[in-house]
């Protein structure tokens, strides 16, 4: 398999999961509407904006490698609010993204192909942002756990 094809097969699942993350943030935001502090809503919306940036970047690399635009999308997982469940699902997806990008960076490292050095750096930068998303969600969940009273009232943020 050529390096071009190896890299394309590496990028496609990353892109599919980025679309899923963006769609999940978008769709779940309607559960949070009116239930949750505007601060948390804004924060999750900033994650969504960053996922969108990742989508564009990955899609551009794929186009530069002569791939067709990715039309496939993954189904959005059905979830039962309360908010804790939503944040846990977001956290699960973010942790999966960290694992995936870490693996992808190592694969590109092993290729030792100068044509893909900038891609590797871009993936490392995305990885840093995904790791920040994980930390943010862990922090919100800790605040959620502390807020027992609000939790009992169904308002955990
Ligand atoms: Fe992302
Ligand atoms: Fe993320």
Q: For residue 116, how far is its CA from the centre of ligand 2 (angstroms)? A: 23
Q: For residue 64, how far is its CA from the centre of ligand 2 (angstroms)? A: 24
Q: Return the ligand number nearest the Cα of 93.
A: 2
Residue 38 pLDDT level (bands cut at 50, 70, 90): confident
End-to-end, the C-alpha distance of the chain in Å comes to 49
Residue with the two structure tokens 């039962």: 80
Residue 53 pLDDT level (bands cut at 50, 70, 90): very high
Q: For residue 12, how far is its CA from the centre of ligand 1 (angstroms)? A: 13
Region 39-68: what's the mean pLDDT? 96
Q: What is the pLDDT of residues 124-139, one digit of tens each?
A: 999 999 999 999 999 9
Q: For residue 153, how far is its CA from the centre of ligand 2 (angstroms)? A: 29
Residue 151 pLDDT level (bands cut at 50, 70, 90): low
At 68, phi and psi to the nearest 5? -80, 155
Structural Rg of the chain based on CA atoms: 17
Report the largest interatomic distance among the alpha carbons of the chain, rounded to a whole angstrom: 58
Q: What is the pLDDT of residues 66-80, one digit of tens each?
A: 999 999 999 999 988
Q: For residue 131, how far is its CA from the centre of ligand 1 (angstroms)? A: 10
């Amino acid at each position: 398999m050529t390096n071009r094809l190896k890299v394309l097969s590496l990028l496609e699942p990353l892109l599919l999961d980025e679309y899923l993350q963006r769609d999940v943030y978008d769709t779940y935001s309607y559960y949070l509407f009116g239930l949750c502090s505007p601060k948390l809503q804004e924060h999750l919306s900033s994650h969504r904006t960053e996922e969108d940036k990742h989508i564009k970047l990955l899609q551009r690399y794929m186009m530069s490698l002569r791939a067709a635009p990715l039309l496939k999308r993954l189904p959005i997982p059905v979830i039962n609010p309360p908010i804790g469940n939503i944040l846990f699902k977001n956290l699960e997806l973010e942790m999966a993204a960290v694992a995936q990008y870490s693996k992808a960076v190592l694969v590109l490292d092993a290729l030792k192909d100068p044509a893909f050095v900038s891609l590797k750096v871009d993936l490392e930068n995305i990885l840093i942002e995904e790791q920040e998303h994980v930390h943010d969600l862990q922090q919100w969940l800790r605040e959620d756990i502390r807020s027992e009273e609000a939790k009992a009232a169904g308002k955990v943020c």
